A and B are shown apart, each in its own frame.
Chain A
Amino acid sequence: MNDMTVKHHLTDDLLMAYSAGDLPEAVNLIVATHISLCDECRASLDAYDAVGGAVLDTCDTAMLSPGSLDAVLNMIHAQDSAVTDRPTPASRNDSILPAPLADYVAGGLENVKWRPVGMGVKQAVLPTSSEASARLLYIPAGTAIPDHGHTGIELTLVLKGAFQDDDGYFARGDIEIASEDVHHTPVADISEDCICLAVTDAPLKFKGLVPRIAQPFLGI
């Protein structure tokens, strides 16, 4: 499922923060989804996890309470007698949604509850903690998403099709990381409809009246 053509990657900051476990759930989701499609970033993550392991190795120790070992041995004994072969996860053969994302839409693309937001664009907000929000966007081929800036960071990962904006051409697996100062108008490639996962950690600021009115409905 990994085509080795990913050109736009996660930053080291995001990879390290994901490894450390410091990101909001929605950001974790987009990081995990990108890594599912990108061996380069998977290898980077493993390297950052290795740093975490080295930190664990070299950090201080805190004495465990005296009954700790017995408690743990009791727990593993109690469980071992109950352990059966763990159920294999339901096969997810969704060719568009990698596993971490499929988990958030109860299986596959066909289960996404799309809501129209105008101009043929549809979205589905995913259930994550409120520090940041994650949504799937469906953008018909050739359609432009309104020009917008944002107060926080906006991450956009392409799952199907492609889009183009000032920062370049983004196809499946590519992630665009737009910081506060970026105003951009992504346009979906004409060849096919585009599906993206978009994560924002603060409301978007749309330029122009109509998008501003639309914003409360978009919920972004």
Chain B
Amino acid sequence: MISADALLSDCDPTPVANGLKMRDSKDDTRAGSRILNDGMHNDVALWVDDMCRIRDNRDEGAFIKVFQHFGPRVKAFLMKTGMDAALAEECAQEVLVTVWNKAHLYDASRASPSTWIFTIARNKKIDVLRKQRRPEPEDLPWGPEAEPDQEDVLGLQQESAQLGRALRDLPEKQRELIEKAYFGDLSHSEIAEQTGLPLGTIKSRIRLALERLRHSLK
């Protein structure tokens, strides 16, 4: 079911490049269908839509979907970084509460929902395991009036999906290497080079978006 608001929102997932439209009356069972052949791009688009509905409409149904998909992943991630199950459970809950509370900061042209939630989970890890503040880069001076470019939103979705596929397709050992780096086993040296992940395109897209933004602010 698509609300009028969702149709008007900047991240309505319908006009995807390949013309596929996955959201339909079977909406509520779609979690299972997200695995379909080349559904990864559509998956990202659907999660983006859910995030935007949380952000714009405080949509609890969308939040529950996000919770059910990402909650168990965040918990597993936190356990791999060294938390026991009870602490990881508590922290995963807090991460999802943060997703709700900070949804107004979610920008679909800069991060996929999984990327955004990853950064929240990572900050929780630093907070709890290292007991430290985490200095964050200064926000870019874009105000609420700076609507993200739809092309950037779609492009980022496609590249996030591409990155996900690339990660999944890596030989087992290389994928483990990357997971270890992100789970805190301190082995990042030259991982990007060794694994050949397609970081170039996503980097240049973000770079272009930043440049365009900077121009529009002048």
Contact = CB atoms under 8 A, between A and B. Distances in A.
A68 B167 contact: no
- Most chain B CB inside 10 Å of its own CB: which residue of A31, A56, A60, A63: A56
A1 to B, nearest CB: 7
Interface residues of A, number: 63
A53 B188 contact: no
A128 B135 CA distance: 10
- Most chain A CB inside 10 Å of its own CB: which residue of B130, B138, B199: B138
B135 A100 contact: yes
A51 B184 contact: no
A16 B188 contact: yes
Given A62-B72, A129-B130, A69 B67 contact: yes
A204 B136 CA distance: 27
A116 interface: no
A104 B132 CA distance: 13
A13 B191 CA distance: 8
Contact of B97 (A20, A72, A128): A72
A95 B70 CA distance: 40
Given A13-B188, A43-B210, A76-B97, A69 B182 contact: no
A55 interface: yes
B130 A59 contact: no
A71 interface: yes
Interface size class of B (residues with CB under 8 A): 35 or more
B32 interface: no
Interface string A60-83: 111111001101110110011001
Contacts of B72: 61-64
B197 interface: yes
A58 to B, nearest CB: 6
B115 A50 contact: yes
Given A58-B168, A69-B67, A46 B110 contact: yes
Interface stretch (B6-14, B16-24, B75-83): B75-83
A120 interface: no
Interface in B108-162: 110-119, 121-123, 125-126, 130, 132-139, 141, 159-160
Interface of B: 58, 60, 63-64, 67-68, 70-77, 79-80, 85, 88-89, 92-93, 96-97, 100-101, 110-119, 121-123, 125-126, 130, 132-139, 141, 159-160, 163-164, 166-168, 175, 178-179, 181-184, 186, 188-193, 197, 199, 202-204, 206-207, 210-211, 214
Interface of A: 1-2, 12-13, 16-17, 19-22, 24-25, 28-29, 31-33, 35-36, 39-40, 42-65, 68-69, 71-73, 75-76, 79-80, 83, 98-101, 103-104, 128-129
Given A13-B188, A36-B138, 5 more contacts: A17-B186, A21-B130, A47-B206, A58-B164, A59-B76
6 contacts: A19-B122, A25-B130, A52-B115, A59-B77, A69-B67, A100-B135
